């Protein structure tokens, strides 16, 4: 992240997860938040990439093709909807059949169809990949870029396949080497370069073997997550890196170049930390009995209801617009379409609120083992947030009073005039944001941690007028005092208390010294 007035000189390198506040001189390597000099920039790529202009057209055409894939997956559902609407029955019966038959069928067939199309395309794109540096304008550069684009979209469009029993099989279908008993959330990876050992845990928004860019070249190398290792939220295992057996890489942290078995790491660049593992019942963490597997499968199947709900809202929007167009002019319908979409957003937000209160009720600061009903039901609610509220309401409501109102309905306590550029407030009941506080884009108010397969929840508090900078993360049990500021790309550690009217920065945070 580059702050106001930042300057990065020619040939310089800035590591991922860093925040630059001043000037990075030419040819130097900087890392951290705030970034500081770590050495001389070392370039592994050749001096000049080949100029192959025809690859620009290839990238553009690929973007169009990837955008068409979801439409192709929807064709079976559209075909059934057309048959129902033209079957010679009256409009009321046709509409009811459309909503009761075509919508569920279309939603499920689309999910399955798009998953199979995604897996097929990713498998084809994985052919012929080899480690090393490759020009961005080359076959391998194009393959890697297209793979990550489609998989990044899949994390949203195919959200029910993540954080579930199906996730390991899904990642294997994509071509990754995944061991037994793996738990994975919304991980972004390059399947052909990824190995995950038995019992490993990949938390939300982790990145494994994702490509590195520099000098017009792209670098890919294998990355490995060891047996029973843990990669925390927004953690990265860069090309050529590994997380050893039983090791832990914390939230917003990078895997080190070398690490010992069972070690724990925090920050970017990472530093080793002391940590004692939590003891728990293996039958509720790593080795569940069949009855718990069956119970989890039943509850996770309820995620399909979120897919059906968002499809029904889309069909409802089209039916309303069609009804308006048949009774007034097309320009008038176009003018009213914004109000129709606002109504769709209201419906989506209401459905998600109802799902939250019906499925989990009020959340309290307690802990649950992975194989517990609350954990699975909580993931169903997340599916409603990501598949129903996010596309129809929450993303476009960023920074508005309506977003704060919706989050209050989910259980958060938010003061007047608070500015929120994120809707991602997991376990909303545990979050309190004071009047006039600011939560910038890309922030996560993390009310739970999943170390050792134990969901441990606690409150997160921002006082009146407090600020959490862009891409900042605050962990459970932490608070930011009134009028205090935590800078960009910073991590407020679990249980930390930031004093009122002070300024902090870093991963993890330390006093923010003016330059």
DSSP 191-223: GGGEEE-TT-EE-TT-EES--EEETTEEEE--E
The enclosing H or E element of 243 equals strand 242-243
What is the rounded average pLDDT for all residues in the chain? 92
What pLDDT does 91 receive?
58
**What integer is the mean pLDDT of 128-141?**
95
Q: What value does the mean pLDDT take over residues 290-296?
A: 96
Chain centroid to Cα 60, Å, comes to 25
For the stretch 243-281, pLDDT in tens is 999 999 999 899 999 999 999 999 878 889 887 766 677
Instruction: Place 515 in a pLDDT band, splitting at 50, 70 and 90.
Output: low
- Round to whole Å and give the CA distance between 140 and 314: 37
Q: What is the pLDDT averaged over residues 46-71?
A: 92
The order of strands in the sheet holding 460-462 is: 413-414, 431-433, 460-462, 479-480, 497-498
Q: Please state, in angstroms and rounded to a whole number, the distance separating the CA atoms of residues 163 and 381.
A: 12
In tens, the pLDDT along 88-101 reads: 556 566 667 667 77
| Helix ranges restricted to H, 328-469 | 330-359, 373-384, 401-409
What's residue 57's pLDDT?
Answer: 94
15's CB contacts (< 8 A; 6+ apart) are: 29, 30, 31, 32, 35, 38, 254, 268, 269
Q: What is the mean pLDDT of residues 299-325?
A: 93
List, for residues 410-446, the tens digit of each pLDDT value. 999 999 999 999 998 889 999 999 999 999 999 999 9
pLDDT score at 51 = 86
- Range of weakest confidence among 78-82, 306-310, 466-470: 78-82
Residue 238 — pLDDT band, cuts 50, 70, 90? very high
If you ran DSSP here, which 8-state letter would residue 499 be given? P
Give pLDDT, residue 209: 96
- Residues 182-212 have pLDDT tens digits of 999 999 999 999 999 999 999 999 999 999 9
What is the model's pLDDT at position 282? 83
Between CA 67 and CA 35 the distance in angstroms is 37
pLDDT > 80? residue 40: yes
Indicate whether 367 pLDDT > 70.
Answer: yes
| Per-residue pLDDT, 15 | 87
Q: Can you give the pLDDT at residue 93?
A: 66
Q: 318 or 178: which carries more pLDDT confidence?
A: 178
Q: How far apart are CA 232 and CA 266, in angstroms?
A: 10
Least confident of 30-34, 216-220, 245-249: 30-34
C-alpha 282: how far from chain center: 28
Q: What values do phi and psi take at 206, rounded to 5?
A: -80, 155
Q: What is the pLDDT of residue 277?
A: 66
For residue 229, the model assigns a pLDDT of 96
pLDDT of residue 451: 84
CB 509 within 8 A of CB 492: yes
Specify the pLDDT at position 357: 97
């Amino acid at each position: 992240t580059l702050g106001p007035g930042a300057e990065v000189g020619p040939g310089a390198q800035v590591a991922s997860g860093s925040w630059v506040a001043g000037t990075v001189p030419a040819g130097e390597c900087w890392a951290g938040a705030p970034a500081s000099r770590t050495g001389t920039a070392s370039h592994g790529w050749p001096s000049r990439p080949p100029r192959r202009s025809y690859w620009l057209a290839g990238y553009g055409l690929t973007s169009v093709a990837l955008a068409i894939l979801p439409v192709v997956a929807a064709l079976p559902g559209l075909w059934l909807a057309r048959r129902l609407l033209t079957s010679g029955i009256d409009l009321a019966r046709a509409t009811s059949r459309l909503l009761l038959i075509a919508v569920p069928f279309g939603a499920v067939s689309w999910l399955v169809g798009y998953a199979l199309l995604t897996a097929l395309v990713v498998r084809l794109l994985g052919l012929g990949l080899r480690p090393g540096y490759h020009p961005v304008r080359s076959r391998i550069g194009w393959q890697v870029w297209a793979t990550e684009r489609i998989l990044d979209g899949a994390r949203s469009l195919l959200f029910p396949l993540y954080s579930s029993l199906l996730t390991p099989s899904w990642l294997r279908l994509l071509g990754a080497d995944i061991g037994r008993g793996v738990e994975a959330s919304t991980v972004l990876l390059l399947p052909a370069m990824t190995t995950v050992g038995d019992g490993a845990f990949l938390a939300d928004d982790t990145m494994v073997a994702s490509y590195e860019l520099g000098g017009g070249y792209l670098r890919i190398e294998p990355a490995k997550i060891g047996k029973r290792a843990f990669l925390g939220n927004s953690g990265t295992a860069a090309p050529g890196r590994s997380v050893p057996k039983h090791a832990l890489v914390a939230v917003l942290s990078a895997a080190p170049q070398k690490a010992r078995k069972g070690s724990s790491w925090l920050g970017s660049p990472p530093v080793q930390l002391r940590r004692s593992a939590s003891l728990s019942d293996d039958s509720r963490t790593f080795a569940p009995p069949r009855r718990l597997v069956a119970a989890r499968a039943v509850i996770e199947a309820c995620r399909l209801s979120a897919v059906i709900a968002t499809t029904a809202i889309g069909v409802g929007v089209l039916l309303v617009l069609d009804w308006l167009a048949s009774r007034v002019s097309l320009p008038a319908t176009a003018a009213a379409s914004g109000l129709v979409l606002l109504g769709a957003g209201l419906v989506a937000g209401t459905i998600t609120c109802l799902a939250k209160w019906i499925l989990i009720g009020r959340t309290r600061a307690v802990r649950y083992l992975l194989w517990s009903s609350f954990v699975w039901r909580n993931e169903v609610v997340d599916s409603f947030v990501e598949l129903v509220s996010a596309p129809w309401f929450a993303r476009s409501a960023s920074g508005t009073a309506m977003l704060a109102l919706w989050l209050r309905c989910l259980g958060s306590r938010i003061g007047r005039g608070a500015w929120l550029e994120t809707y991602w407030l997991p376990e909303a009941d545990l979050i309190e944001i004071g009047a006039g506080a600011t939560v910038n884009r890309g922030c996560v108010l993390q009310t739970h941690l999943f170390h050792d397969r134990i969901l441990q929840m606690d409150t997160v508090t921002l006082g009146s007028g407090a600020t959490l900078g862009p891409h900042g993360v605050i962990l459970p049990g932490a608070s930011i005092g009134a009028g205090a500021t935590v800078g960009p790309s910073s991590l407020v550690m679990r249980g930390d208390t930031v004093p009122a009217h002070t300024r902090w920065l870093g991963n993890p945070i330390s006093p923010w010294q003016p330059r």
